[in-house]
A and B are shown apart, each in its own frame.
Chain A
Amino acid sequence: MIKNFKTLFSYRELLFSLTKKELKVKYRGSILGFFWSLLNPILTMLVYSFVFSIVMRGGIEQFAIFLICALLPFNFLSNSVNYGASSIISNSNLVNKIYFPREIIPLSIVFANLVNFFFELAALFIVLGIMGYKFYIYLYLLPVLIIIQFFLVVGMTLLVSALNVFFRDLQHLITIIMMVWFFGTPIIYPLSMVPERFQIFIKINPMTIYAAYYRNIFYYVKYQEGAGFPSTVETLTALGITLLIFFIGYFVFKRLDPRFAEEI
């Protein structure tokens, strides 16, 4: 495994240029270009804010901020997984003709989405700054949090991209799974709204814990009364599940990747 990581490291420039390509291709030909990646979450936020603070009136203060703090990290996961699923197949011309570590392909998707995520965060900082949030108090937690979530995203993306080569209908299933995951994570609602007996199921989901951290860093800084970081046990469980998913993803991918070229 260490040897693999070394090889992977020697291909870092390829990873870099494929990530760049991914980003370039995404916005090539569209007039607003890169702004779409900011516009998308803003529009989602507006729709949800309208529904939950005007139509349904959940009684959450600054619902837009409440939502976006958890929405952005989740988008990082779901975009990576959704695009990653078909990544090996859509790069079949590369897989069939040139040797390089196959992980590079799904990883470039993850990195492209990570870059997007950074830009969205930067925009969020600006908005929070203007609104007078003291978002910088817990900011030192953010890099660690992102790195941990990154492992989860990589694990999931590797897993689905490898399996999808052999079971093509996974691609369609993924959309549904990600939707269920989205509603199973306290993003548009606070964790406290979940009935006590279901909380355990919600908390097993590492994204719940990470969403809580993100929210504590940005949103609860102003509304201290809601603050409260997940407990150590909860955090360690999330971390454990994340590492499990990462290793499963990695080993499944490594196990299947010699057969990619024959299968596509």
Chain B
Amino acid sequence: MVKNKNKYKYSKDEIAVDIRSVSKKYRIHHEKIPSLKQTILKFRRTTYEEFMALSDVSFSVKHGETIGIIGPNGSGKSTLLKLIARIIQPTSGEVMINGSLSALLELGAGFHPDLTGRENIYINASILGMKKRDIDKKLGDIIRFSELERFIDTPVKNYSSGMYMRLGFSVAINVNPDILLVDEVLAVGDQAFQAKCYKVIYDFMKRGKTIIIVSHDLDTISDLCSSAIFLRDGKMIDMGKPLNIVAKYRAYIEELDKKRIIDQQSAERKKIFRTVIENNRKIINGVEITKLTNLIVSGETIKRFGSGDAEIQNIKLLDRKDKEVDFCRYGDNVKIVYEVLFKKRIEEPVFGIRIRDFKGNIVYGTNTRLNNIKTGNFKKDDLIKVIFSQKIPLIGGEYLVSPAVAYKDNITYCDWVNDMFTINIISRNIAEGIADLNPEISIKRVGT
């Protein structure tokens, strides 16, 4: 009945949280805490830098809305929540709160390790603003929700971190505020408990409560929220429908990732070429294929082997328009191209590639022989290009390409360069394994 009373406490048009051009400046002290002596001697001349954690952020949240805040690390999300929770004061601007507010910034904040679960419930709940009478009433609910009935009279220092969090969450959600702030705390406990937590949040929403939630889990944001805010470097980039905002954020992250991959890529490639040049001098003569596989599997010791009668040079990845690229996306048509310079006359050589993932699993390998391609004969100083055109339907990540040139017997090698080239594949799908089967998933009801 109490729930029903709370349900209509505020009308939907009333503003619950109003943020008016709020900025927060932090001082980063170079020495952590100035001592009394220093302050007296230097008289406020301790060195510090100023850092704008938030600059000129404005938005308002109406009662009954669920707002998601997303942004990369250090974008000011937590600062914003702390400002709304009144834990810190804005440097300029105003934060207006209309209604009772509870912040789940950290679960079990203030739990005392020596006190039992039950004692800590009382303390924690009263810190969160509950009256003793209400706690008495809710105690059973809290304990039941935490699933800690057996341990409730044990000091919390003996709890596992999961139990600790569960108790913290159970207390926090039973406080029953008008406005709830949630900071990344939904990742509590096992799957079953998480499902329970989501259910509680849904219940909160249904009862017309206002929720402001910070999360890196974009699906949570698009599922739960009625609108979302994208923060970056302390500035509010955008606010709007969660799907749009999440898409915007994803695009930003992807852009960032691409940059990172390209940087990494160029460093990686430099390294590989250096090894190739080094190993060029100690080419081993024809080794049997069974031994070879072992050598490859047993580690990175052998980077390159073969007789040296032909030499692989210059491997690269080309896109559809034959432009050299560093990465490709799922489903792109790309070419893996390498050049071979012949040092001797060789008849019907076999050209192949092998692709491995970063763990060393062979993802794919093929050669001209397996594809029944006649390669022809080559003489000294012939320079040719071997082109493999295909789509690469793999899960996103790094893959290593090893090109090879074998003699006609396909057992002895002219040149094999292990992991000569790294391909970065960017895939939208997050899945297990290596292959990206990219299924269309549908559900049909076949009975009741």
Residues of A within 8 A of B (CB): 13-14, 16-18, 21, 24-25, 28-29, 91, 93-100, 166-170, 173, 258-259, 261-263
Contact = CB atoms under 8 A, between A and B. Distances in A.
Given A21-B123, A167-B36, A99 B85 contact: yes
B128 A98 contact: yes
A24 B109 CA distance: 18
B110 A169 contact: no
What interface size band does chain B fall in? 20 to 34
A236 B103 CA distance: 46
Nearest to A29: B114
Given A97-B105, A99-B103, A28 B114 contact: yes
A10 to B, nearest CB: 9
A211 B442 CA distance: 84
A97 B37 contact: no
A170 B39 CA distance: 12
Interface in B106-132: 106, 109-110, 112, 114-115, 119, 122-123, 126-129, 131-132
Nearest to B114: A28
Contacts of B126: 13-14, 16-18
A98 to B, nearest CB: 6
B88 A24 contact: no
A98 B122 CA distance: 15
Nearest to A22: B112
B129 A258 contact: no
B26 interface: yes
B207 interface: no
B354 interface: no
Nearest to B132: A13
Contacts of A262: 26-27, 88
11 contacts: A13-B132, A17-B122, A21-B119, A97-B103, A97-B109, A98-B105, A99-B101, A100-B127, A167-B39, A169-B36, A261-B82
Given A13-B131, A167-B39, A99 B87 contact: yes
Nearest to B40: A167
B35 A168 contact: yes
A135 to B, nearest CB: 36
A168 B33 contact: yes
Contacts of B132: 13, 16-17
B89 interface: yes
B408 to A, nearest CB: 72
A26 to B, nearest CB: 10
Interface string B335-373: 000000000000000000000000000000000000000
A169 B131 CA distance: 37
Interface string B86-110: 1111000000000001010110011
B115 A21 contact: yes
Chain B interface mostly helix, strand, loop or mixed? loop
Contacts of B114: 25, 28-29
A167 B35 contact: yes
A95 B33 CA distance: 17
Contact of A25 (B87, B105, B115): B115
A97 B35 CA distance: 25
Interface string B183-201: 0000000000000000000
Contacts of B39: 167
Contacts of A168: 33, 35
B106 A14 contact: no
A28 B27 CA distance: 40
Contacts of B112: 21, 25
B150 to A, nearest CB: 21
A179 to B, nearest CB: 18
A98 B87 contact: yes
Contacts of A258: 88-89
Contacts of B87: 95-99, 261
Nearest to A95: B87
A93 B103 contact: no
A169 B106 contact: no
A178 to B, nearest CB: 17
Contacts of A93: 106, 109-110
B123 A17 contact: yes
Given A25-B114, A170-B36, A258-B89, A98 B109 contact: yes
Given A98-B87, A100-B129, A169 B35 contact: yes
In the A-B complex, list the 8 residue pairs whose CB atoms are closest, starting with the nearest. Answer: A97-B109, A167-B36, A99-B86, A258-B89, A17-B126, A97-B106, A94-B110, A97-B105
Given A17-B123, A100-B127, A262-B26, 8 more contacts: A13-B131, A14-B127, A18-B126, A21-B112, A21-B123, A98-B103, A98-B109, A99-B85
A18 B109 contact: no
Interface string B159-200: 000000000000000000000000000000000000000000
Contact of B119 (A24, A98, A263): A24
A95 to B, nearest CB: 8
Contacts of B115: 21, 24-25, 28
A99 B27 CA distance: 21
Contacts of A166: 33-34
A172 B65 CA distance: 50
Interface in B12-61: 26-27, 33-37, 39
Contacts of A24: 115, 119
A252 B129 CA distance: 25
Nearest to B113: A25
A107 to B, nearest CB: 14
B19 to A, nearest CB: 16
